[in-house]
Amino acid sequence: MDTTTTLHTGNLPQHLAIIMDGNGRWAKKKGMLRIFGHENGTKAVRETVESCARLGIGYLTLYAFSTENWNRPKMEVDTLMNLLVSSLEKELPTLQKNSIKLNTIGNTAMLPDGARKKLLDVIEQTKGNTRMTLTLALSYGSREEIISAVKKISEKVQNNQLNIADISESVIGAHLYTHDLPDVDLVIRTSGEQRISNFLLWQVAYAELYFTEVLWPDFREKDLHEALISYQKRERRFGKTSEQVK
């Protein structure tokens, strides 16, 4: 077994996606309300974003709020939406300093007006940045994304703009929210849960999966490096034999 414990800069994932989980449990362990965990999760977001940009990871996608998360208590949902606005305001200088372009995937029409406007504003202000694309998955659900793609494709078929025979992987990919992002190479999920929770089902077809017990507010650069080192030790075969990919 390869027991290397240092990260090398070659062979990093081009697209890293993170399911930031465990904010509520982190707060509960401290005898605090769940929202205290969300507030502290923003520090881990900042550190992770900056670390990824420094390392030269081209695409970072963060699962911030799922379509299913709308079913949480209203007070928690409101707090998360307010945190989104304040974080976008606070982090804009960090995005500019590191030349990070903000992007979003999900049914953002569902977001409250203030949050949607702030999001569009930061996307507009950072659109010329080239070092890394930071995508926030907000009101995101993979099944909903696939349904929306099927509807758009069906409409094109109905209007004779597309032949059924021409529907391919790339046609489907082009109608997903992620049309301008490469496939995901690595998914990290914190908090010990080992599930995908309706995140990028199409896009993770050949991603490596990494699970850590660390709760999201405690996730630091060393934890990111551990995940990346684990990724670098894996052989991605894409269905071929080991000899073929060597």
Q: How many angstroms from the chain centroid is the CA of residue 91? A: 17
- Candidates 21, 39, 185, 223; binder of Mg ion (CB under 5 A) is 21
Distance CA 93, CA 88 (A): 9
* Cβ at position 21, least distance to Mg ion in Å: 4
Query: Is the distance from CB of 216 to CB of 44 less than 8 angstroms?
Result: yes
Q: How is the beta sheet containing 59-66 ordered, strand by strand?
A: 100-105, 132-140, 59-66, 15-19, 186-189, 208-211
- Candidates 47, 121, 144, 193; binder of ligand IPE (CB under 6 A) is 193
Comparing CA positions, the residue from 22, 60, 15, 70 lying closest to residue 211 is 22
* Cβ at position 230, least distance to ligand IPE in Å: 20
- Decide: is 177 part of the binding site for ligand IPE (CB under 6 A): no
**Which residue of the set 11, 21, 129, 218 is catalytic?**
21
* Cβ at position 63, least distance to ligand IPE in Å: 4
- Decide: is 185 part of the binding site for Mg ion (CB under 5 A): no
Distance CA 109, CA 67 (A): 12
Distance CA 222, CA 228 (A): 10
- Candidates 127, 195, 233, 236; binder of ligand IPE (CB under 6 A) is 195
Closest to Mg ion by CB, 21 vs 91, is 21
- Decide: is 23 part of the binding site for ligand IPE (CB under 6 A): yes
Phi then psi for residue 51, to 5 deg, are -60, -45
Residue 65 near which of Mg ion, ligand IPE, none (CB within 5-8 Å, type-dependent): ligand IPE
Closest to ligand IPE by CB, 19 vs 134, is 19
- Decide: is 65 part of the binding site for ligand IPE (CB under 6 A): yes
Comparing CA positions, the residue from 142, 36, 152, 45 lying closest to residue 102 is 45
Residue 197 near which of ligand IPE, Mg ion, none (CB within 5-8 Å, type-dependent): ligand IPE
Distance CA 61, CA 33 (A): 27
Burial of 44 by CB count in 10 Å (0-12 exposed, 13-18 middle, 19+ buried)?
buried
* Cβ at position 22, least distance to ligand IPE in Å: 4
Residue 69 near which of ligand IPE, Mg ion, none (CB within 5-8 Å, type-dependent): ligand IPE
Active site amino acids: 21, 69
Point out which residues bind ligand IPE (CB under 6 A): 19-25, 63-66, 68-69, 80, 191, 193, 195, 197, 216
